[in-house]
């Protein structure tokens, strides 16, 4: 049985708490490794070491810090296959999807190579007689990230890449369900030239999370996960005086107008709803066709597409559409919600409850499910299922469809499929959701824009990656400077008026 480690001061360090978590192979259901769960003392020691290393890193000029990120990008490309295989082995997603996970993190690291420009301050010459004003962006010190199981490469890089190039030291607490890739990323950063102690990877559970939130040295915390935990982390972190950004759950609607290309919309729904077994915060989980004729045409196209989906382990080849969910508990929760949907009156037009994969009967595979005639009061509509389940809510007008998306408590992402520019522009302007797709099913912004939802999908005032990340991981210091020349006029006892 493989025993994993923490990463502290540039090397792998065995856990000392005596507590471990099981790391499963989701395809087989077998335990393939044990991961140490850090104690408060272990977390605090890693933070103290990071705090000792950070001042020298923070004083390193931004161009040199950016060169570390440049080399890191090269190493990510070199080891792409190795990283993807490790990711698929612990998470269960297909190899192409795993490579996409790494790639979207890599793109944020690429953006961070521009740190010398992004960290430039502002300057005003002669704001007053002989007075100049300018600002500096300076690192916070030691910051932390608590990241989820569903993107074990991408989201850690979304967090630590901008934090590091801003001059901070970073404490990463990855998901204990698939911890190997974050440890591999730490190794690559060391190879790229990152000084020891600047990135610490501490595996753990709630005890480690609370230690992060309570440690007075840590100045900022970023989190991605479920909304209840996001609310908890945001509240406790802010109460302890930290800068906190938390991204929570989602229930992303895709509105299909009568003028949409139905085949294009159906293909988009299959990819966005069932890719990665639905374990994406940007997955489309609600289809909203406008009009019964639109709904009938959409369902007619979805059924044969879902019946042809290939579900299997990542080792079965690149034509596998999606793999298992991450744990047996996740599988049981999906099946429970499906049963609830049936009991509450939704029509299950594609039933994946009896799905079983020969040779992998103990794996955490879930067949595709498609519901029709779902209503907003049903559990399958209100709750985030995080599985391969698509709910169809029929709307009779555009305004009714828009209201469904706007009235839901989550506001992460949404999409509309239409050929009408007026409708698309109105939707984008009015909907109260953070990320909008127009004929794009999963509107995840590229690295040089920012990622973030609204309502109960996000807590905090700044988004992930893009320019907001550089604002989140730095403090602005503003300097007013006067260099007197000529004859001094003596002391002044009042605020001098600006001329």
Contact 472, 245 (CB under 8 A): yes
Same domain, 219 and 319: no
* 490: pLDDT strictly greater than 70: no
Same domain, 104 and 126: yes
As a whole number, the mean pLDDT across the chain is 96
Please tell me which residue in 112, 166, 246, 281 is annotated as part of the active site. 281
pTM of the predicted model, to two decimals?
A: 0.94
Query: Is the pLDDT reported for residue 486 higher than 70?
Result: no
Residue 455's contacts (CB-CB under 8 Å, 6 or more residues apart) are 408, 409, 410, 411, 432, 433
Using N-to-C axis directions, what is the helix angle for 80-91 and 180-192, rounded to 10°? 160
Given a cut of 70, is residue 127 above it in pLDDT?
yes
Domain span holding position 379: 252-438
Q: Are residues 419 and 464 in the same domain?
A: no
Question: 362 pLDDT exceeds 90?
Answer: yes
Same domain? For 93 and 223 the reply is yes
| Percentage helix, strand, coil for the chain under 3-state DSSP, each rounded to 5 | 40, 25, 35
Q: Given this model, what pLDDT does residue 497 score?
A: 64
Q: Domain check: are 112 and 205 in the same one?
A: yes
> Which whole number is the average pLDDT over 288-311?
98
Q: With 0-12 CB in 10 A as exposed, 13-18 as middle and 19+ as buried, what is 20?
A: middle
Q: Which of 39-48, 203-212, 441-450, 484-493 has the lowest mean pLDDT?
A: 484-493
Instruction: Give catalytic status of residue 246 as yes or no.
Output: no
The pLDDT tens digits of the residues spanning 229-275 come to 999 999 999 999 999 999 999 999 999 999 999 999 999 999 999 99
Residues 7 and 61 both lie in one domain:
yes
Q: Is the pLDDT of residue 499 over 60?
A: no
Q: What is the pLDDT of residue 167?
A: 98
Please answer whether residues 43 and 201 qualify as being in contact, where contact means their C-beta atoms are separated by less than 8 angstroms: no
- Three-state SS for 467-495 is HHHHHHCEEEEEEEEECCCCCCCCCCCCC
Considering the domain architecture, whether residues 296 and 407 belong to the same structural domain is answered as: yes
CATH number at residue 120: 3.40.605.10
**Which residues, including other chains, have CB under 8 Å from residue 85's CB and lie 6 or more apart?**
95, 98
**What does DSSP say about strands 11-13 and 6-8: parallel, antiparallel, or unpaired?**
antiparallel
Question: Does some domain include residue 87?
Answer: yes
Mean of pLDDT values over 281-308 = 97
Opening angle at CA 132, ends 129 and 137, nearest 5: 165
In this structure, the answer to whether residues 379 and 432 fall within a common structural domain is yes
Are residues 280 and 197 located together in one domain of the fold? no
Residue 490 forms part of a structural domain: no
What pLDDT is recorded for position 38?
A: 98
- CATH code of 418's domain: 3.40.309.10
Do 262 and 243 share a structural domain? Answer: no
């Amino acid at each position: 049985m493989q025993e994993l480690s923490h990463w502290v001061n540039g090397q792998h360090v065995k856990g000392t708490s005596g507590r471990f978590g099981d790391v499963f192979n989701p395809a087989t259901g077998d335990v393939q490794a044990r991961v140490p769960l850090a104690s408060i003392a272990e977390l605090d020691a890693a933070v103290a070491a990071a705090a000792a290393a950070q001042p020298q890193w923070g004083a390193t000029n931004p161009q040199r810090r950016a060169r570390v990120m440049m080399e890191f990008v090269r190493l990510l490309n070199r080891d792409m296959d190795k990283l993807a295989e490790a990711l698929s082995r612990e998470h269960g997603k297909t190899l192409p999807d795993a490579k996409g996970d790494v790639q979207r993190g890599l793109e944020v690291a690429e953006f961070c190579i521009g740190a010398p420009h992004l960290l430039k301050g502002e300057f005003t010459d002669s704001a007053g007689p002989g007075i100049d004003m300018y600002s500096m962006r300076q690192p916070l010190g030691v910051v932390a990230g608590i990241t989820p199981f569903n993107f074990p490469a991408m989201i850690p890089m979304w967090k630590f890449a901008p934090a590091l190039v801003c001059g901070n030291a970073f404490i990463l607490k990855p998901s204990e369900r698939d911890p190997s890739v974050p440890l591999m990323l730490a190794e690559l950063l060391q190879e790229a030239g990152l000084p020891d102690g600047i990135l610490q990877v501490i595996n753990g559970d709630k005890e480690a999370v609370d230690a992060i939130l309570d440690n007075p040295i840590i100045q900022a915390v970023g989190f991605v996960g479920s909304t209840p935990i996001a609310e908890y982390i945001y509240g406790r972190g802010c109460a302890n005086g930290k800068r906190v950004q938390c991204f929570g759950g989602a229930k992303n609607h895709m509105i299909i107008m009568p003028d949409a290309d139905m085949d294009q919309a159906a293909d988009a729904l299959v990819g966005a709803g069932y890719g990665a077994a639905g374990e994406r915060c940007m997955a489309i989980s609600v289809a909203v066709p406008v009009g019964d004729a639109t709904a009938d045409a959409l369902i007619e196209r979805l059924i044969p597409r879902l019946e042809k989906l290939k579900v299997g382990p990542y080792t079965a080849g690149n034509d596998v559409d999606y793999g298992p969910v991450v744990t047996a508990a996740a599988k049981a929760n999906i099946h429970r919600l499906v049963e609830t949907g049936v009991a509450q009156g939704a029509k299950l037009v594609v039933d994946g409850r009896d799905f079983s994969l020969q040779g992998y009967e103990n794996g955490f595979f879930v067949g595709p499910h498609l519901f029709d005639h779902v209503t907003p009061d049903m559990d399958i509509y209100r709750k985030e299922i995080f599985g391969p389940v698509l709910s169809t809510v029929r709307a009779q007008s555009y305004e009714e469809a828009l209201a469904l998306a706007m009235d839901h408590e989550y506001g992460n992402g949404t999409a509309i499929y239409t050929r009408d520019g007026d409708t698309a522009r109105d939707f984008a302007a009015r909907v109260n959701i953070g990320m909008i797709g127009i004929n794009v099913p999963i509107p995840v912004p590229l690295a040089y824009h920012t990622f973030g939802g609204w309502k109960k999908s996000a807590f905090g005032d700044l988004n992930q990656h893009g320019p907001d990340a550089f604002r989140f991981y730095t403090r602005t210091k503003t300097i007013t400077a006067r260099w007197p020349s000529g004859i001094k006029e003596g002391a002044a006892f009042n605020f001098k008026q600006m001329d």
